[in-house]
Structure 1
């Protein structure tokens, strides 16, 4: 039987548009159509608050120095799952209601886990990923590019992430119980659009023909089922940006994915199947509890006896386990041990994927923005994407979150493909500034080229239609201008080798080579993951993951 090595993607967002950091935790799983079978895994899920400072802290994502937190839309959480073989390997995946994961946060979390569990959880088998909300506290990364708008490192932001991640993993570890995993996939068509359609059209027609849409519309969901309690959680992956909340928003929010997670957890709490052991009704369906209709009834024993004799006695019926008081008490205590349902809406290849599905319009005229450069009268500041709830961004957040939630419920309820096999993972460090890449030339032949250190172009400063930049920068700018080159050279003048390597992109910030007062961007060691597809017992094919970039 063909085996499938299913991959759980963890994306670490880089401070450079030319470098991505990521890790893939891999479950070696055998495809099975069986819905009910004895599980080979221990499964644990956990969730913990990571809201952080809700006032006077710059938010991470839009790189807008004026976007300072001043309250809470809804609280943020870290949600974790652990899948382990009883006597074998295990993997941990943590999904954060945060803009991105941080290498510094990860190092500290691993340090704490090692102190608690020894070598059970290490950098090899723990992946931490952010949903890419642009409405969470910033200042928790270690690179200058990330800390400029937050005016440096924010210890409160850092500490709450480390504490919340650690506690969510502890919860998941303590909840480890025998269980099964089911997977389902489906298309969600109304929660994402390409915010740079002109750029996509610059791809060769042969490349575009490989794809059904100009963005990835597929949602992949894992359903976790406890052998005793039934469904206990789900994690899904779908590409859409956490930018339903605009760059002027000042309330901490998990944006559309954080909202979707809350919707699904509330849905399960309301509609989840309850154990018959917790039935608090008799065979006639009436609740069996002391009524509070008659106040202080036990104060006068004579009144209680008088009330009792006024009721006509029923003929009686044999006692059953369902009606047994002892059984109901045991059931209530047992129910208290049941782990809470955890649902995470994780981020995937969302590069130019926007939740502002109505398109981009000029705020002054109401007309569509320039198609190629996303400008209005030559200026990028007036061009904004509109969500489905426009002009109410809270409503847009709710709608896009609800659309993801409803699709996830549909996949959850219909999930029937059970995953079986060995648990495994892959983790490696790659120097992205020194990679050799073979390019296929138009008309035949090939050419070997080499990557170089990271650099941000002039178009980077223009931002996107989800969050426009400032001044006179434009998207798609491949020329630059003398004034901003002069400003750039005050910080760092790129040498000819770097300019030639980055061509045709003009360099605005040579971040990969800027080291004062310390590294501006990720060092040469990156983390890369891969999906392994096992077609047979004798052949393994390696497929690279999609590239992901940070948006400013």
Structure 2
């Protein structure tokens, strides 16, 4: 900072004025010593006074940063972000359990986003938000092993939370329990490795970025980004309870804003309930869905905002040269504004024939970093998942695709069938547009909360964590004791939801095993025969899970040999389903496969001042989440320490650390829609969660430790993968990798909103994931000679689509589609593709190719 002040008296006056008038809105009050009209160099006496003032300020939690700003920071904060896109070809996507949903390109990239908050000499917590379907036990285990090797005991299962946004458009195969990786043909090492690597690197970034800063919290209602997809189940909750709430889904978004003492705002994380199912079960492009899109929009918004402010400063100082910003239309490149001349220039750049290339992640980094000051921390924004169990982003409700009629209210069927009942998003029939709209609605609400956040988080940083065996757990209910059940899935589990219907004539709301039901729904009778062939549930299990009609009694199967393999006293029920083809009319309709569900669940509370994060491994419905939050709040606010008051903010972090499917209320469970049928441990599952979280809450405020519970198994060395590796990539005779197969038309001119499409001869994207790189790039011509990266495959408007002419062909194509955004700068452009090809002997060679140039006017 400047070292010129008028006198020690003047210095004291300046400090006093600032301290008496500081505003906490952004955690800072700015003071500019260079504005003093006259002064002298800081004398030794003044220096001692300055040091004393700083010590006194620090003792009161007030810090002076290098820009001469005061803040009331009380934490160390650090954020990080890293690419976890993974294999964009051949791998089944996680979420819909649709065997035909195989990745074949990139909509936009997936990321791990992390924050660390620490007391300067005390506790710290880590929270990681993944653009992935859910947390994974084996991912958590391996990340913690790496953190232990690097940092010792600083980061452990106690204070690290890893959550998924629940996109249904990410590569699968990264969980260790096989029931969740059946459709990906088992474990997919590439999916697993890229997620573990990305989480570790995002945490390393956050750790290395730790600096003094402040955190602010804000809340607000977002009304048009989610609807209840199981309203008949919600209506089974007590009327007096429902009457306490305006809506049948949670409409509240909770946002925290991170403010660095030196740089100002550096990020935000928010929690809001809506499913990651704007992209349908037929989509094959890797995508973060609506929450991933919202994060991309907000990070771009902040880059643009800061870049514009920096340009204003440069203009005022008459120094510096502006680069062409990414997705910013306010800066015009240095090119003659004459379309005829543009077309003449474009005509001189023909498509390439394909050529070798070195690794090129730096190209994408140039695009992503084009707006950011070299020494400024990257702005990180995460849109986290909460109690979304019964909340759909398809806000136009469910309709039948063939008739256009609304789906049945209770069962989501038409004439007893559910296969054609689909929820419609706001952009129907365009799922990309629905994703954009729901993402944009969350993004706009987040900006509003971000700009108005004034309540500062203050107080301790703390955490509690425990593992609990959830099978046959005693649960106190008043003077009675009830139990959870061994895990089982009901018939409505196979029916799916309006976001992704199932097959085989299953229906939601199937809670009967009566003769009438069997007669009127013969599909269910058939599946009961299949179920009984595998394992007929004993009467104790039937009574425990009642009224759920059990489809898969995963905790009790014993034929043809022991189906329950116990790891450390029953932590995992391994369901060995031998391969059996079920045929109807000669057509195979299903193959029974390996299934495995863990009975050990992770419970965790993180605390940052008056913010409390409840890390849950499943998908809580709206009312289940409300009951859990209320129960924990009662414990925290009734404690003798009085640390928490009415201003405590409690958020549920869904799908965190591991995955245990759904959690409904007791009343919703009785209806047996999809969410109830997927509540594994019976009707008292929610009561068990509340009981265990109340224990953690009590331990948090009392300072008592908790029993760690049974450790979950590490099954990494037992994983099986049936996904075939890439054997060979090839091109037709006379064509090189990267050669344009289908180019833009000669002398093409496009306008904003048009789609530009180019196809290249390519190779399998699994050869090199291009992590922190790009498969596709839009470049703009500067000064008629230099191609500058403008947009990469992490942009919502650019799609990388990969395909083969036939399933077993070694040849493949890369089609790149660019929907020209309204913010595009007029000029000369081209589209470039990057890839990596595998030779028969296994060597990998990188290549690139570019389209002919074209004009955007």
CA distance in 2 between partners of 1:288 and 1:497 (Å): 76
Q: How many residue pairs were aligned? A: 473
Tell me the equivalent position of 2:489.
456
Which of 188, 193, 198 matches 1:164?
A: 198
SS at match of 2:531: helix
CA distance in 2 between partners of 1:289 and 1:528 (Å): 50
Tell me the equivalent position of 2:553.
510
CA distance in 2 between partners of 1:546 and 1:409 (Å): 21
Tell me the equivalent position of 1:108.
142
- State how 1:267-282 maps to structure 2 within 5 Å: 267-272=301-306, 279-281=313-315
CA distance in 2 between partners of 1:238 and 1:66 (Å): 30
- Contact 2:132/2:170 (CA < 8 Å) preserved in 1? yes
CA distance in 2 between partners of 1:191 and 1:414 (Å): 21
Tell me the equivalent position of 1:69.
103
Unaligned runs of 5+ in 2: 1-68, 324-332, 336-369, 514-523, 558-562, 566-573, 576-594, 606-611, 613-631, 656-660, 663-674, 679-857
Shift of 1:276: 7.3
Q: TM-score, normalised by structure 2?
A: 0.52
Structure 1 residues 286 and 177: alpha-carbon distance in aligned structure 2, compared to 1, 3 A threshold: closer
- Contact 2:158/2:604 (CA < 8 Å) preserved in 1? no
Shift of 1:539: 4.6
- State how 1:84-123 maps to structure 2 within 5 Å: 84-123=118-157
CA distance in 2 between partners of 1:206 and 1:79 (Å): 40
- State how 1:254-333 maps to structure 2 within 5 Å: 254-272=288-306, 279-281=313-315, 283=317, 285=318
Shift of 1:61: 0.4
Q: TM-score, normalised by structure 1?
A: 0.80
Shift of 1:275: 8.0
Structure 1 residues 282 and 44: alpha-carbon distance in aligned structure 2, compared to 1, 3 A threshold: same
CA distance in 1 between partners of 2:321 and 2:536 (Å): 79
- Contact 1:141/1:153 (CA < 8 Å) preserved in 2? yes
- Contact 1:439/1:447 (CA < 8 Å) preserved in 2? yes
CA distance in 1 between partners of 2:119 and 2:398 (Å): 48
Query: Which stretch shifts more, 204-213 or 271-280?
Result: 271-280
Tell me the equivalent position of 1:49.
83
CA distance in 1 between partners of 2:507 and 2:71 (Å): 57
Tell me the equivalent position of 1:475.
508
Shift of 1:273: 7.5
- Contact 1:73/1:253 (CA < 8 Å) preserved in 2? yes
Structure 1 residues 125 and 529: alpha-carbon distance in aligned structure 2, compared to 1, 3 A threshold: closer
CA distance in 1 between partners of 2:388 and 2:155 (Å): 28
Query: Which stretch shifts more, 398-407 or 475-484?
Result: 475-484
CA distance in 2 between partners of 1:537 and 1:173 (Å): 34
Provide the aligned C-alpha RMSD in A: 2.8
SS at match of 1:512: coil
Structure ranking higher on relative contact order (CA contacts 8 Å, 6+ apart):
1
- State how 1:156-195 maps to structure 2 within 5 Å: 156-195=190-229
Tell me the equivalent position of 2:468.
430
CA distance in 2 between partners of 1:544 and 1:224 (Å): 17
SS at match of 2:185: coil
Unaligned runs of 5+ in 1: 1-34, 295-331, 441-445
Tell me the equivalent position of 2:604.
529
Bigger-Rg structure (1/2): 2
Deviations 1:260-297 (A, max 9, x none): 000000000001378879943454x475799x999xxx
- Contact 1:361/1:383 (CA < 8 Å) preserved in 2? yes
- State how 1:348-387 maps to structure 2 within 5 Å: 348-387=386-425
Tell me the equivalent position of 1:487.
530
- Contact 2:487/2:599 (CA < 8 Å) preserved in 1? no
CA distance in 2 between partners of 1:457 and 1:421 (Å): 45
Tell me the equivalent position of 2:787.
none
SS at match of 2:282: coil
- Contact 1:454/1:521 (CA < 8 Å) preserved in 2? no
SS at match of 2:598: coil
Deviations 1:7-46 (A, max 9, x none): xxxxxxxxxxxxxxxxxxxxxxxxxxxx973211110000
Tell me the equivalent position of 1:145.
179
Deviations 1:233-281 (A, max 9, x none): 0000000000000001111100000000000000000013788799434
- Contact 1:282/1:288 (CA < 8 Å) preserved in 2? no
SS at match of 2:249: coil
Which of 373, 382, 392 matches 2:430?
A: 392
CA distance in 1 between partners of 2:643 and 2:553 (Å): 39
- Contact 2:163/2:654 (CA < 8 Å) preserved in 1? no
CA distance in 1 between partners of 2:268 and 2:322 (Å): 35
CA distance in 2 between partners of 1:286 and 1:169 (Å): 36
Structure 1 residues 276 and 215: alpha-carbon distance in aligned structure 2, compared to 1, 3 A threshold: closer
Deviations 1:60-80 (A, max 9, x none): 000111111111111100000
Query: Which stretch shifts more, 421-430 or 483-492?
Result: 483-492
